[in-house]
Each structure stands twice: as structure tokens, then as C-alpha cells.
Amino acid sequence: MKYVERQGNDVIFRSNGETIRITPWGRDSLRVRAAQMAEIRNDRFALLDADTDANDIEIRLEDERAVLRNGKITAVVEVSGWKRNGRLSFYNQKGELLLRETDGGNALALTPREYLPQTGGDFALNVTFEGQEGERLYGMGQYQEEQVDWKGCTLELKHRNSQASVPFVISSRGYGFLWHNPALGFVSFGKNRTTWHADATKQMDYWITAGDRPADISRNYADAAGHVPMMPEYGLGFWQCKLRYWNQEQLLQVAREYKKRNLPIDVIVIDFFHWPHMGDYRFDPEFFPDPAAMVKELRKMGIELMVSVWPQVALTSENYGEMNQQGLLMRADYGEQIGMRFVEDSMFWDATNPRAREYVWNKCKQNYYDYGIRIFWLDEAEPELGTYDFRHFRFHAGNGQEVGNIYPQLYSRAFYDGMQAAGQENPVNLVRCAWAGSQRYGALVWSGDIMSDWTYFRRQVCAGLSMGAAGIPWWTTDIGGFHGGNPQNPEFRELLIRWFEWGCYCPVMRLHGDRQPAQPVYRKDGSRALNSGSDNEVWSFGEEAYPILEKYLRRREELRPYVRALMQEAHENGTPLLRGMYYEFPEDENCNLLRDQYMFGGKYLAAPVMEMGARERSVYFPVGTAWRNVDTHEIIQGGRRLTVPAPLHVIPVFERL
């Protein structure tokens, strides 16, 4: 009985109503799909067309076993267990095992691919691999935890405010793995096994690559899922933001003050509720009477304007009726057609619908882009449903349980495609969430509405490292945190200083937050508008803080050529700017679990101070390296851990020699 066959450069395995297809998909990479009682689909949720060297492919077939080699990775599929199911194993070019599915268990009657039927629908799916002793797993996007190695952890495959589930992982064993499925679910990286679970899906679909070093894996993944554009020049400097500049003159006064003080600034931001109603996609003329003149004055000062756009369309919006009639909004499967209640009841527009993407972009082009605005802040991108219960919402692409995780990627795509069609090169838009492939649509992801405290500060360092490993090189955070923080509070001032110092060594340096106490805003008729926050400019935090913040603004300018080179590297090779120590030094086991220091590119080791009152901290210097302290110029030999001074005005940073 013959279980395997060849179709072109693909290997097909069939047994018990299941079909497995293994396809060479880019350099040293394979795409693996499987379906129960159905033909294999070619969904392109994240994967692009593969550039594969046919001369580097080798296939060997037996009756019950097939071997497919594509460059440095080899897949073996073979009959396993009493049930005669297929079992998959993957090896590197040395013949070393990278990853293998669990076996059939014989009397246990287990299967590595478990299709759980759903009445009237398709399947829930479990895919299970053997645990590997000593393995470290990096990436997976942004989770608010102090972790960089996810081995032993269970992660929700679901977006939330400040959580971006990007299901790509880099293994210390020398492979990268993309769970190519936008369904809600979870992954459990257990000691004994790894299980990927989709709540609802039509088939199994994943992509796996082999690489000698993490940078090789990042490059292969970027080739498969898309490269980030080249960051424009205004993305390299400092971005000023607060909640919220509520009128045109207030914003311009802040920009003028930066210029009066001769402080570097590249971007200034108009945050949410500058519109009459959510979903109007235009300025409220009472507060922003002349957007064209505003943009013109800012540009004369060398400052770009970024404007917030939300995906909610209020039931009171001038666009709601047409968008609802045209089917451009998400739909609740039952109950009220309301996705979120904040200021006004609203429903989210459906980013999975190409007509909806075109509609929203055209509104934004007419009312923002045509005034000269070239950067958008795509907030609420998860989307932030009132209860995050995606199961009960339906998209153009399908039920939320099956496709919900793709929303932020297509939200970014709407603006990227529109801006490119308008002739703009290398669009960049700030977005609050991402999924696999978001990077190719100019997504600069920030870490959401986090708290202004030291615990969340530490979590953001881990989040930035994990996002970079997950293939999202453009990443930033609200310097000082979003929720809370009184500029007059000495303890908050210290947190803000330490966060600002670290922000200098992030891909994008952006100051934002809802500072306390809130400032009421009134319309001309006396009615309340949404509050503004307290001041959040670099001169807002006292006499001690100001010269320190100015120092790091100017240092960021000094770093501009270096940051530009890192952005070029990210664009060409998919390499993150924020790199865990393991990424640059995989041979040094002492680097595997470091989560409070990192590499900013290949040159600088940054060790942010993340404890209240600390004026020194411990830093590990990898084996076989030498370093220069950028502030004291002291030379340090690697292979040891040292306690280094860290006065309030210094973030310990070391240049690799």
C-alpha cells in the first residue's frame, strides 16, 4: 500500500481521510498543511509567494515514508502507530533533529493532529510536537509578562489592548516556526510537549525554517512573510505626544516651544476625539479650524504631524448609515450591533473587507492626507471589543473565532495600500496591535495602554525583545507608561527619566501618556468634551529631569546615522533593532535567559535601570567580547558579570569593540 506521492516539488501523504502536503517555501524552509476529508487550501493569511531554488530540493519516496530536503531543512513523513497516521519530523543539514510530532501512542491511540468536529462547521484543531530538553523559545509577539523564553509557558493566541499575538517563534535548536492560522486559540510550550490549538479552522497550516543563527531565521521569515519598508527619516528622531492636544493652537504652541528651546523633534501627534463623532474621519472644525495651515506651519518647522484614527464607527456618525447599509461593518451574530461602548456606542469597521478598507482610506485621504498628513495612528487595532468575545462577531473573511487574529494586519494594510496608491514611499503608521505579516504594511507597533509603574516598565523591555524576534522590527512604547503618572510626583519623575533614557535606545523614541490630573475640555456652548491630560512635554517634569531628558534627546540625534543603518538592516534582512542577548551571542549559554539587558543592533549593549532608587546595576558581558562604556569610556573585557554605576542621569550603555 502506497501512502506517499510526489506532485511537482511537493510531497503528499494520505491516510484515514487525512491529506498532508509538504511544500518547499523559500530558502531552507517548508510549508506544511493538512486537512481532514477536504482538499488542501492555499490561504495566504501571512505567507507570500516563495522564492525557492529548485536545484536545492531533494525528494525520496518509499511506500510508507517520504523525505523532502530543501536546503538546510529536511522533512520526513512516515506511517506511525496502530492507526497508520502520518508522523512528521524535521532535521537540519547536519542530520540533527529540530522538531518532531508526538507519536501515535499505540494503545493510547493518540494522534499528533487532532481534528475536533464542530456541529455544523469545521474543526477545532490540536497539533502536538515532542518537547525537547534544554530548548529555549523566543518571539511570539507581545505579552505583558517578564519573560523572553516561553519554554514552560502557555500563551493565548488572541489580541488584547497591550497584547499582540504574533505566532512566530525562534528556537535555540536552530529553527523558526510560524503557526499560519489566524484563529483564536492557545499554544502550550510544555516540558513534555508543545501543543498548538485553533478554536475553529479548516486545516492545519504552518511554516518551518532552519538557520545556523537567529539572524538567518529572521531573514528567512522576512522573505516568507514580508520585509518591513525602509523607515523614513522622521522615524529616526523624537516623537512628542500626550493625551490629548485638544485644539490646533495648543498643539502649535508646543511645537513652537520645542523649536524655541532648540530641542530635536521629528513628529508631533494629535490623539483621539479630535473628530465630531467616532467614524467621521475628520477634524472637528470647532477645535481644528484650519488643518491645512496647521500642517503647513509644522512642516516649516521640520515637524511631521501624526493623527489618530479609530476603527469604531459610532451609531451617531455621519458615515454609519452608509457603512452599515453597504456591509462594511463587523456584525454581531446575535444581540445588539454594538462592539464597544466608550463615549458613544459604536461598531468596528471590517478590515477584512477590501471594500471597507477602500472606503475608510478614501475618507481619511480626503480629510487628512490631502492636508499633507503622512502618518496615521491606528489605535484600537485588536480590535478592542467590549468583552473581547470574538466568537460572536462575523467578518467578511469569516467568523471571528476562525479569522479574528488577522484584523490588525489588514487594518494596517488599508492605510499602507492607500498611501502607496497616493504615491507615498515607505509608509509608516503607528498601530496598537499586529499579527504575522503586519511588518510588510509599515506597522510600527506600540505596546498599548500600559500602567505607569516599574513592573510595567520591566515588562516592556521583554515585550520589545519578543516582538523583534517575532518578525516585527518596528516597535515602541509610551515613555513613562500610559495610565497615570503625575508630573509633579517625584517618584513618577524618576520613573519617567529612566523610561526616557531607555527610549533613546528603542526603534522609535516616543513620549506619550495620560498624565494626571485630568484637564476638563468644554465646547463653546458649555458642554463637556473628552478630557485632556496634564502636560507631558520634556520640560514638564521639573528642573532635575529637564537636563537629563535633553541629554538623551541630543544623544538620539547623535545616534541617527546608526539608527538609520539598523533600519536599513531590518528592511533588507528582517533583523530586529532590539535583540535579546541570545540573538547576538547564541554560543554563550549565560545569555539565554537575560531579560533586563539587550543589544540595540549589533553594536550597543543597553542595560536600563528598572528599579526605583537604583544607582547601580549588574550587567553580564558575553564571553570573547570587549566593551567601552559610552559615558565613562572604561574598557571592559567579557566573560563576566559586573556591577556598574548608574546615576540618575545615566543609562548604562556599552559599545562593542
Give the residue numbers marked as catalytic. 379, 382, 449
Preceding peptide of 383 cis, ω within 30°: yes
Residue 352 amino acid letter? T
Q: How far apart are CA 90 and CA 86, in angstroms?
A: 13
CB distance 323 to 279 below 8 Å: yes
Q: Where are the beta strands (DSSP E) in 25-162?
A: 29-36, 57-61, 65-70, 73-80, 85-91, 97-100, 113-117, 123-130, 137-142, 154-157
Residue 151 amino acid letter? K
Q: How far apart are CA 411 and CA 278, in angstroms?
A: 16
CB distance 441 to 409 below 8 Å: yes
What nine digits make up the cell of 147? Answer: 519573560
Preceding peptide of 244 cis, ω within 30°: yes
Q: What stretches of 246-312 show up as alpha helix (H) in DSSP?
A: 248-260, 291-300
Q: How far apart are CA 574 and CA 594, in angstroms?
A: 22
CB distance 231 to 428 below 8 Å: yes
DSSP 192: S
| Count of beta carbons in the 10 Å neighbourhood of residue 44 | 10
Q: How far apart are CA 466 and CA 481, in angstroms?
A: 19
What nine digits make up the cell of 186? Answer: 492557545
CB distance 537 to 507 below 8 Å: no
Q: How far apart are CA 89 and CA 295, in angstroms?
A: 57
DSSP 369: G
The burial class, CB within 10 Å (0-12 / 13-18 / 19+), for 558 is: exposed
Q: What angle do CA 561, 563, 564 make, to 5 degrees?
A: 60
Task: Decide the pairing of beta strands 626-629 and 653-656.
Answer: antiparallel
Residue 30 has phi, psi (to 5 degrees) of -140, 145
